Amino acid sequence: MDQISQFFNFLDGILGSAAYFPIALLGAGVIFSFYLGFPQIRFFKHAWGVLLGKYAKDEDPGDTSHFQALATALSGTVGTGNIGGVAFAIFLGGPAALFWMWATAFVGMTTKFVEVSVSHKYRRKDDKGFMVGGPMHYMEHGLNMKWLAVFFAIATVVSSFGSGNMPQANNMAVGIETSFAIPTYVTGAVFAVLLGLVIVGGIKRIAKVAATLVPTMGILYALGALAVILSNYENILPSLGSVFANAFSGSAAAGGFLGASFAYAFNRGVNRGLYSNEAGQGSAPIAHASARTKEPIAEGMVSILEPFIDTLIICTLTGLVILSSGVWQEKFETDFSVSDTEIIAGAYSDENPVHVKQLSAHLDLLPPENDPVKAYSGTIQAQDGILLLSNVTVLHNRSVAENVRVSKDGVPFNGIVLVEEGGLNDRSLKLNGQSLLHSVPLTAKAFESSFLGASGAYLVTIGLVMFAFSTALAWSYYGDRAVTYLVGTRWVTPYRLLYVSGFFVATIVDTTLIWLISAVTVALMTLPNLFGILLMRKEVKEMTADYWQRFKDSNP
């Protein structure tokens, strides 16, 4: 498991976590925003008219309505990223990360408009008469780059597991186990069957389910989040202030949070922003290709609403819940995951400003060459399950762990614990204690810190289940459209069986590893798509001008 984690950490380091990735993502959105005259502002009102069917015609080609296409795309984006992903971004980068999630969403509205418009123009019908679309089609037929189209389609198939399937299943199962003590494998088995029953019906069944689930889950979650925020009303303005104050300086240390540099907050905020709204990733155009319309630009306008709803509304609510509650800087009792734990030489305290600065630099994207924080190798005595730490510190979840205990087979351990390069030599030993939380557990704690009390965690779990399941539905469609492009419709059924199996397996795999896989697969789709739409910029501009001219002529 360690070797697999190291491999994906390496890939993530040269892809999604690399310094160029957020710059490329934001840069493309900024370029298109200026090049097209900020369509996310100019077309916003018109987009709602298109969505509500004001200009729809029943005879137009397509398999779904504008609303169903948007709901399907939203079901792919409104997922665990809105609950766990926002918490993960704040855990890593502090309040500043939320600012960069907003920035990614704002320029991402334009990026989404471009990728959906140009992909919709080059959509095709498969051998069963259903629409197929997505970046692979504009890459092949618009750019004449078959090789790029094949690469993107393969990345989409892989990403359907790494982005839309596995993180959703894992977070959902962990959330249900935490709230209702239902074993993860039971959750995985039940929802894998439900998933299979829906996706076998293809886009029409997926769209109908999404059109019901998305509005319901969005409204319920928003009402719950507002209740938590209002119960901590005195912290709303200070929380917003910290988001803006730290945006260009990095987040300062607070409580158990060791701080984050500007580079770290920027990278994590943009990365999680992309994971949340998928602008630039190229996934949403696959769903929008099914929309019933002859106007690619009209469907592109509908897609502008996705990042707005997903990130600027839902993710903001989650962020304010976490920040206003203050739980993001507090330590809670938790079991330590191997990949999030490091044992270091020396006694460090998060109450010592010098130590905080050293530890923060050690945990940054690029630790300093003369990093004084070193991994510990040696032995630690354990007595009645308590680690007797002497000149040794345990880091877990990017914080100084407290009251660290060790057990074996559920029984407090007595004896010598061997440590090699910061990790336990005996993997049958389990650590637990107090540390920061991240992902879904952090959001659940934030919801509990209101008048909702323990029931707040149940609300998070219910929202998580609905979000995660709907996301898995959408991504199964993205994957089978990519499979259809690569090898034809005959391989769709084997893909769906594998997809459902992967959903079950992911419920019993380490959470951190799942997030690493998702970060890598997101980047593998995004980079070729950004390259492609930049090459198509002139065509999109001409399409937009032509659409408006015809619209004005028909609506004098």
User: Can you tell me the mean pLDDT for 337-347?
Assistant: 91
- Residues 325, 321: Cα–Cα separation, whole Å: 6
pLDDT of residue 512: 62
Q: DSSP states of 133-154 as a string?
A: -SHHHHHHHTS--HHHHHHHHH
More confident residue, 34 or 552: 34
Q: Which of 322, 319, 280 is nearest to 82 (CA)?
A: 319
Burial of residue 365, with CB atoms counted within 10 A of its CB: 0-12 exposed, 13-18 middle, 19 or more buried = middle
Q: Is the pLDDT of residue 25 over 70?
A: yes
Q: How confident is the model at residue 404 (pLDDT cuts 50, 70, 90)?
A: very high
pLDDT at 1: 62
β-partners of residue 407 are 412, 430
For residues 203 and 197, what is the distance between their CA atoms, to the nearest angstrom?
13
Altogether, the residues listed in the chain come to a count of 556
pLDDT tier for residue 556 given thresholds of 50, 70 and 90: low
Q: Tell me the pairing of strands 124-125 and 411-412.
A: unpaired
Residue 513 pLDDT class (50, 70, 90 cuts): low
Q: How confident is the model at residue 515 (pLDDT cuts 50, 70, 90)?
A: low
Whether the predicted pLDDT of 362 surpasses 60: yes
Sign of CA dihedral 114, 118, 120, 125: negative
Question: Residue 157 — very low, low, confident or very high, per pLDDT cuts 50/70/90?
Answer: very high
3-state secondary structure 419-436: EECCEECCCCEEEEEEEC
Query: How far apart are alpha carbons 206 and 480 in whole angstroms?
Result: 12
- Going by pLDDT thresholds of 50, 70 and 90, the confidence category of residue 540 is very high
- The listed range with the strongest mean pLDDT (3-12, 467-476, 488-497) is 488-497
Within 8 A by CB and 6+ apart from 396, the residues are: 334, 336, 340, 341, 342, 431, 433, 435, 436
Reduced 3-state DSSP string for 465-503: HHHHHHHHHHHHHHHHHHHHHHHCHHHHHHHHHHHHHHH
Nearest to 96 by CA among 241, 275, 237: 241
Residue 57 has pLDDT above 70, yes or no: yes
- Give the model's pLDDT for residue 68: 85
Helix axis angle for 86-93 and 95-121, nearest 10°, is 130
Contacts of 386 (CB under 8 A, 6+ apart): 404, 405, 406, 412
Structural domains for the chain? 35-330+445-521 (1.20.1740.10), 332-435 (no CATH)
Mean pLDDT value across residues 214-233: 88
Residue 555's pLDDT band (cuts 50, 70, 90): confident
**φ, ψ for residue 164 (rounded to 5)?**
-95, -15
Q: Can you tell me the mean pLDDT for 137-154?
A: 95
Average pLDDT over residues 45-70: 84
- The Cα–Cα gap between 388 and 404 comes to 9
Give the C-alpha separation, 386 to 539, whole Å: 66
Does 408 have pLDDT greater than 60?
A: yes
Beta-bridge partner residues of 400: 395
Instruction: Please state the rounded mean pLDDT for residues 456-464.
Output: 84
Percent of the chain residues past pLDDT 70, beyond the cut: 97
Could you tell me which residues are beta bridge partners of residue 334? 433
The answer, yes or no, to whether residue 275 has pLDDT greater than 70, is: no
Mean pLDDT of the residues in the chain: 88
DSSP-assigned letter for residue 339: G
Phi, psi of 430 (to 5 degrees): -120, 135
- In 10 A of CB 494, how many CB atoms? 11
Looking at residue 539, what is its pLDDT?
95
What angle do helix axes 86-93 and 262-277 make, rounded to 10 degrees? 170
Which structure tokens are listed for 354? Answer: 């010098």
Given a cut of 60, whether residue 85 has pLDDT beyond it is yes
Supply the DSSP string of 303-337, one letter for each residue: HTHHHIIIIIIIIHHHHHHHHHHTGGG--EEEEPP
**Residue 387: CB partners within 8 Å, gap ≥ 6?**
380, 381, 394, 404, 405, 406, 417, 431
Q: How many CB atoms lie within 10 A of CB 332?
A: 15
Q: What is the pLDDT of residue 31?
A: 95
Greater pLDDT, 383 or 215: 383
Q: Is 21 helix (H, G, I), strand (E, B) or coil?
A: helix
Lowest pLDDT segment from 25-34, 281-290, 445-454, 531-540: 445-454
Q: For residues 467 and 304, what is the distance between their CA atoms, to the nearest angstrom?
A: 20
- pLDDT at residue 2, as a whole number: 67
Instruction: Summarize the confidence of residues 11-30 as an average pLDDT.
Output: 84
What's the mean pLDDT in 301-327? 92
pLDDT digits (tens, 9 = 90+) for 186-198: 999 999 999 999 9
Q: Give the residue carrying structure tokens 């319309």.
A: 293
Q: Residue 58 to residues 78, 187, 292, 312: CA-CA distances in angstroms?
A: 28, 41, 8, 32
With a cut of 60, say whether residue 511 has pLDDT above it.
Answer: no
Cα–Cα distance for residue pair 315/321, rounded to 1 Å: 10
User: What does the pLDDT read at residue 193?
Assistant: 94
pLDDT band with cut points at 50, 70 and 90 for residue 66: confident
Q: Which residue has the tokens 């061997």?
A: 418
